Chain A
Amino acid sequence: MSGSHFIGPIAPHPAFVQPGPAFLFFHRPSNNDTQRRQLFNRTSSKHSKMSRYTIKDNTNCLNTTNSITVQNNLTIADDRFQLLTWLSPLDPGLRHWDIQERRVKDVGEWLIGTEEFRRWCGLSGEGKSDKAVLFCYGNPGVGKTFIR
Chain B
Amino acid sequence: MFIERSETVLTSGDDSSLVVDTLYDQTWGHSAGVTCFYFDFAARKEQSATNVLGSLLKQMVSGTGKIAEEIRQTLREQKEAPGGRRPQLVHIVKMLQLITSSQPTYICIDALDECTVVERLRLFDSLKEILERSPCARVFVTARPHIRDEIEKRLAGRVTSVSVGPTRDDIVGYLRARLSEDETPDAMDEVLEAEILENIPENISQMWVEKILRMPSYIVR
Which A residues are closer than 8 A to B by beta carbons? 5, 7, 10-11, 19-26, 28-29, 79-80, 83-84, 86-92, 95-96, 99-100, 103-104, 106-112, 114, 116-117, 120-123, 129, 131-147
For A108, list chain B residues within 8 Å (CB). Answer: 8, 10, 14-15, 18
Query: Does A96 lie within 8 Å of B1, measured CB to CB?
Result: no
A31 CB to closest chain B CB (Å) equals 13
9 residue pairs, one from A and one from B, having the closest CB atoms: A88-B54, A143-B11, A23-B63, A141-B210, A99-B17, A138-B164, A23-B33, A88-B55, A29-B21
Query: Does A136 lie within 8 Å of B12, measured CB to CB?
Result: yes
With contacts A10-B62, A116-B3 taken as known, whether A135 is within 8 angstroms of B10 at the C-beta atoms is no
Q: A84-B62, A138-B163, A140-B11 are in contact. List 20 more A-B contacts (CB 8 A).
A: A5-B64, A20-B27, A21-B27, A23-B61, A29-B21, A83-B79, A86-B75, A91-B55, A92-B55, A99-B14, A107-B10, A109-B8, A114-B162, A120-B160, A133-B155, A136-B163, A137-B161, A137-B164, A139-B206, A145-B210
Closest residue on chain A to residue B76 by CB atoms: A83
Count residues of chain B with CB under 8 A from any CB of chain A: 102
Query: Does A142 lie within 8 Å of B144, measured CB to CB?
Result: no
With contacts A132-B137, A140-B11, A143-B10 taken as known, whether A26 is within 8 angstroms of B24 at the C-beta atoms is yes
For A86, list chain B residues within 8 Å (CB). Answer: 75, 79, 87
Query: Does B143 lie within 8 Å of A24, measured CB to CB?
Result: no
The residue from A100, A103, A111 contacting B164, defined by CB atoms under 8 A apart? A111
Which B residues are closer than 8 A to A by beta carbons? 1, 3, 5, 7-38, 40, 46-47, 50-55, 57-65, 68, 72, 75-76, 79, 87, 92, 103-104, 106, 111, 127, 131, 135, 137-145, 147-148, 151-152, 155, 157-166, 170-171, 174, 205-207, 209-211, 213-214
